[in-house]
């Protein structure tokens, strides 16, 4: 039987899914532009060189503008590569928008490098990360998040914390509808340093 915390997280996921379903594509686009503009102005971004950014799904803040800015600014860009058979994730180098456009799409409808592509340059092999741009389902203002339940980011951040390069800064991007008062927290859950979001549409 699922624990009370896991049941609470499931309820939050269902509620956020309902809220985002009410947003039009134009509203999601407007909020994405606001949040990305906020992010690109942060000290966390401007002072970081080695950055990981998630490649967004349709129910997340669109990160393509950030990706383009990173590449045009000469920052070293990494993107997630998820294992479909476990909670393992690594961050692999992306060098151009042409590479981005050519990426295959997973069963989750996310672009990512092939799991068995051995030639990919990973963040851990080349000096770690300064900053991770985090996705999630729900967040509170204290920085705790509800993810999608696979634990990819929590595991990766814990791995970073134990490495010589240390824990990177963590910034989450969210629609206003993804902000909640309370987030149930388990021992392995990692809080982010900053949550950037736009105002939610009144229900």
The domain locations on the chain are 4-197
- Give the C-alpha separation, 183 to 43, whole Å: 27
User: How many CB atoms are closer than 10 A to CB 114?
Assistant: 11
Q: Which of the listed CATH numbers 3.90.220.20, 1.10.10.10, 1.10.3720.10, 3.40.50.10420 matches domain 4-197?
A: 3.40.50.10420
Class of residue 99 by CB neighbours under 10 A (exposed 0-12, middle 13-18, buried 19+): middle
- Please report the pLDDT score of residue 186 as a whole number: 80
- Please report the pLDDT score of residue 65 as a whole number: 97
Phi, psi of 137 (to 5 degrees): -95, -45
Element at 134 (helix H, strand E):
strand 131-134
Average pLDDT over residues 93-106: 92
pTM of the model: 0.93
pLDDT digits (tens, 9 = 90+) for 144-199: 999 988 889 989 999 998 888 889 999 999 999 999 999 988 877 889 999 999 98
User: Is the sign of the CA dihedral 87, 92, 98, 102 positive or negative?
Assistant: negative
- Please report the pLDDT score of residue 22 as a whole number: 96
Phi, psi of 82 (to 5 degrees): -90, 145
pLDDT digits (tens, 9 = 90+) for 120-145: 799 988 999 999 999 999 999 899 99
Among residues 185, 138, 190, the alpha carbon closest in space to that of 161 is found at: 190
pLDDT digits (tens, 9 = 90+) for 11-64: 999 999 999 999 999 999 999 999 999 999 999 999 999 999 999 998 999 999
**Count of all residues that appear for the chain in the document:** 203
Kindly write down the DSSP assignment for every residue of 49-81, as one continuous string: SEEEEPPPPTTS---HHHHHHHHHTT-EEEEEE
DSSP class of residue 193 equals S
- Please report the pLDDT score of residue 116 as a whole number: 67
């Amino acid at each position: 039987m699922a624990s009370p915390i896991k049941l609470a997280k499931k309820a939050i996921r269902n509620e956020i899914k309902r809220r985002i379903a009410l947003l039009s594509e134009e509203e999601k686009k407007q909020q994405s532009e606001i949040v990305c503009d906020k992010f690109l102005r942060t000290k966390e971004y401007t002072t970081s060189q080695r950055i990981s950014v998630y490649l967004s799904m349709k129910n997340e803040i669109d990160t393509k503008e950030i990706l383009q800015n990173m590449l045009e600014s000469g920052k070293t860009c990494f993107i997630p590569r998820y294992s479909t058979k476990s909670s393992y994730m690594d961050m692999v180098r992306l060098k151009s928008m042409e590479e981005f456009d050519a990426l295959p799409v997973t069963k989750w409808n996310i672009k990512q490098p092939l799991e068995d592509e051995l030639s990919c340059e990973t963040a851990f092999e080349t000096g770690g990360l300064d900053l991770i741009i985090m996705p999630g389902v729900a967040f509170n203002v204290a920085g705790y998040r509800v993810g999608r339940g696979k634990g990819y980011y929590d595991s990766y951040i814990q791995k970073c914390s134990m490495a010589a390069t240390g824990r990177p800064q963590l910034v989450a991007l969210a629609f206003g509808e993804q902000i909640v008062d309370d987030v149930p927290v388990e021992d392995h859950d990692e809080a982010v340093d900053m949550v950037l979001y736009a105002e939610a549409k009144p229900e």
